Structure 1
Amino acid sequence: MSYPTIFTTPGLRAIAEDIDAERQRQLAKFGDQHHPDGTGYNGSTQHADFWRQSCQAAFSDGEGTWGHVLLEEVYEALAEKDPAALRNELVQVAAVAAAWIADIDSRPTTV
């Protein structure tokens, strides 16, 4: 039986399957969890601005890394108070993490 393709980005299916497997391990270990978001705290906007500027400066200097990009996205998420905007930022965090994983997976393996 043939199933429809739900992932069109090359390599994303394998990454999504790895994420799903990790979520299954988390659920088995911790169960279904519910916590406060912990976002929009005092100073969170300044932290987001700092990481945004740091990321831009690093790339301007030719020294940008996946770490810069991910931290910028994480701190932008942490600055959000609105649940819909937070969700959008977390999707961006996940997409950057997936892009970083895809980059690692595309590298030649060394022994």
Structure 2
Amino acid sequence: MTAHHDRQARILADVKAERDAQDALFGVQDLPDGTGPEFVRQADKHREACDDAFQLNYGTYRHVLLEEVYEAMAETDPVKLRAELIQAIAVGVKWVEAIDRREGR
């Protein structure tokens, strides 16, 4: 296994541990999604900000993560919402990977 894959495995284990802690604290929860068309404007704003930032060579993980989160927030179709959430979570993992690389972990 490469250092990259080892790092991902550690991060995903951390995520699993956090999920286990959440379940222990709150139990299994079935909350409403709270997403919908009222977030389309914010999703568009964050998509444009992300595109602009990368075109001007100052894009950050913050730009990418917020774009993905707000795209999920604007979605009502469960299949598309799931896909958007997976993308947002993957960007979060990628960001943590970058932090760990910088920290030599």
Larger Rg: 1
Distance 2:26 2:44 in 1: 34
Task: Find the counterpart in structure 1 of residue 35 from structure 2.
Answer: 39
Secondary structure of 1:38 counterpart: coil
TM-score (normalizing by structure 2): 0.90
Flag the structure with higher helix content.
2
Matched, 1:49 2:35: no
| Cα distance in structure 1, aligned partners of 2:60 and 2:80 | 25
Give structure 1 stretches of 5+ with no counterpart: none
Instruction: Summarize deviations over 1:56-85 as a string: whole Å, max 9, x none.
Output: 111111111100000000000001000000
Q: Which runs of 4+ in 1 moved over 6 A?
A: none
* Aligned-residue RMSD, C-alpha: 1.5
Q: Larger RCO: Structure 1 or Structure 2 (Cα < 8 Å, ≥ 6 residues apart)?
A: 2
For structure 2, which runs of at least 5 residues remain unmatched after alignment?
none
Q: Percent identity over the alignment?
A: 48
Q: TM-score, normalised by structure 1?
A: 0.85
Which whole-Å CA distance do the structure 2 matches of 1:107 and 1:48 have between them? 30
Post-superposition Cα deviations, 1:10-65, rounded to whole Å, max 9, x if no partner, equal 221111100000011111111111110011142x1111110000001111111111
